[in-house]
Structure 1
Amino acid sequence: MDRTELADFLRRARTRLAPGDVGLASGPRRRTPGLRREEVAQLAGMSPDYYTRLEQRRGSHPSRQILTALARALRLTDAERDHLFHLAGDEPPRSGGSSDHVRPGLLMILDRLNDLPASVLSDWGQMLAQNAMSVALTGDHTGTNIIRRWFLTPGARDLAPPENHEQHSRAHVASLRAVTTARGDEPGPAALVTELRRGSAEFAEVWAEHDVMVRRPSPKRFLHPVVGALDLDCEVLLSDGHSQQLVVHSARPGTPTYERLELLRVVGLQDIGRSR
């Protein structure tokens, strides 16, 4: 681990970004350019003190999870992400197939969708990034797998009407089967299938039916505990290679859902602000 070069690279990557580049409010005029250390830590989901130690060449060896989060927070390109891993003395993720590194172009779009719930997912259900409206709608699930949550986490289905549960289950299973077939040499999707077949009788039963599908945009209903039922349209923007998808939910103007989504934007973002 090259602490000096790592600290310099992190500092330079931080100072080239403006708050607006990552979906943060600019606030009062700043004395120095770029993001503050605590803002990078917030975006990466890590301790501000630990990030500060990294920039001061005092930090312990960062885990692969932290390196991935830093690459995402600093909007690094694939080449810059690999450089970050090398400076930390670690091997970068292999090229090709699915990756937890979100492309800067997708993050740029995500950062600018301030009034609509939007998130970036891998093709096998890894939640890679969420904007504030997405967190207000579903909770913060960045770093988790939405298919694993659906089948194994109590309460994960509370936002979906009970009559839609079977449809969602079948869509999750069929989509995951398509990915594991297409990416047979990748351990992540295959390990998830093994875990779910052992842990969920429902998953095992649907898996045995051998349905295959690619997830398509479709309207969704959410039962939000604060603003009530939301009937949202869903649009999906696929990355090059289709290994990542930007999912955006919206409501038609003039509908009750549109008004409730506006209320969620006000109430939900206030709650997020108080929790930080």
Structure 2
Amino acid sequence: MNRDQLAEFLRSRRARVSPADVGLPSGERRRTPGLRRQEIAQLAGMSIDYYIRLEQGRGPHPSRQVLNALARALMLTQDERAYLFDLAGQPLEAPSIRENVPGSVLHLLAFLEEVPTYVLNARYDILAWNPMANVLMGDLDSRPPEDKNVIRWVFMSPDIAEHLNDEEKGRFARASVADLRAALGRYPDDRRMRALVAEMLALSPEFAELWSRHEVEIRREQRKRVTHPLVGVIDMICQVMPVPDRDDLRLVLYTTEPGSPSHQALRELRQLTMS
């Protein structure tokens, strides 16, 4: 159980819920945003003293019944609820991060000849990719392992502006940090993930600011605009699909609208992989 992180998360989510959200009068002047501790305790059906101890990082192990009550009172999303259970040492599942990519997934990468596709683990390390992903993302084949981490690339790469404009980068950065926080909740004992977070907190003020928001959301589908040095702007749909029976791995595919200029741009990139 991570008491400090649990306390921070509860405080941050309580500040987000307004009295109107839960049917309470809001005309009364309030010194702090969101609900009071007493109000959350009442909504969750627990004593105010018990809830205060949780927010102060000195409470006992909350039961699954208590966590479910808190999730309802704080109006948590499905992803945030799973993160709450992870922090409290009551994970909905007990996954682990492995480094190998199943052979069937490698075969799928090879089959998707016209679709840039790669395999991402929970730490945002790119573990495998097809030729289209290689040419789209800038020669993954020649990069050392530490340069194949998407979090490092987004927050630390000096050439990120050549690929994503400020709006695109900001949206992707926020989504990635929220997703990484969810992953750390699932794998709290993964030293490499904790080291990555510590590294980014020390080196990137932007990452640190986003991390302090305690936002939690698993990445799924997202639209993305990338500027490629050879074919120009490409508008793509980034689809993030979990690998069956491997919760630590996801398949990331970039598709375009059929017949669009972006579709044609990807076809031009396809020619580069064949030359």
1:163 to 167, 174, 178: 167
Q: 2:268 aligns with which of 251, 256, 263?
A: 263
1:140-189 CA-partner distances (Å, limit 9, x unpaired): 33632110121122113421122212111111111111111111011111
Match of 1:191 in 2: 195
User: Contact 1:138–1:159 (CA<8 Å) still a contact in 2?
Assistant: no
Alignment match, 1:140: 139
1:269 positional shift: 4.1
Match of 2:222, SS?
coil
Counterparts of 2:161 and 2:184, CA distance in 1: 24
- Structure 1 123/258 Cα, relative in aligned 2: closer, same or farther at 3 Å? same
Residue of structure 1 in register with 2:232 after alignment = 228
The answer to whether the 8 Å contact 2:226/2:235 transfers is yes
Cα distance in 1 for partners of 2:191, 2:128 equals: 22
**Hey, what does 2:109 align to over in structure 1?**
110
Choose 1 or 2 for highest CA Rg: 2
Letter in 2 for 1:243: D
Match of 1:215? 219
CA distance in 2, matches of 1:163, 1:233: 16
Contact 1:130–1:140 under 8 Å retained in 2: no
Q: Which residue pairs with 1:254 in the alignment?
A: 259
Matched, 1:153 2:153: no
Residue 164 of structure 2 contacts residue 225 of structure 2 at CA under 8 Å; is this kept in 1? yes
Q: What's the CA shift string for 1:37-90, capped at 9, x where partnerless? A: xxxxxxxxxxxxxxxxxxxxxxxxxxxxxxxxxxxxxxxxxxxxxxxxxxxxxx
Q: Does 1:173 align with 2:177?
A: yes
* Deviation at residue 259 of structure 1 after TM alignment: 1.1
Contact 2:182–2:216 at 8 Å: present in 1 too?
Answer: yes
Give the distance between the partners of 2:97 and 2:126, measured in 1 at CA: 12
TM-score, normalised with respect to structure 2: 0.61
The number of residues matched between the two structures is: 176
Q: After alignment, is 144-153 or 111-120 more displaced?
A: 144-153
Instruction: Answer yes or no: is the 8 Å Cα contact 2:231–2:265 preserved in 1.
Output: yes
Residue type at the aligned position of 1:193? V
Q: Secondary structure at the match of 1:175?
A: helix
- Percent identity between the aligned chains? 34
Query: Following TM superposition, by how much is the alpha carbon of 1:248 offset from its aligned partner in structure 2, in angstroms?
Result: 1.1
Partners of 2:117 and 2:133 within 8 A in 1: yes
| Structure 2 gap ranges (5+) | 1-93
What's the RMSD between the two structures over aligned residues?
Answer: 1.7
Counterpart CA distance in 2 for 1:157 and 1:213 is 25
* C-alpha deviation, 1:216, in angstroms: 1.1
AA matched with 2:130? N
The one-letter code sitting in structure 2 at the alignment partner of 1:117 is P
The question of 1:245 aligning with 2:244 is answered: no
**1 CA distance for matches of 2:105 and 2:254?**
15
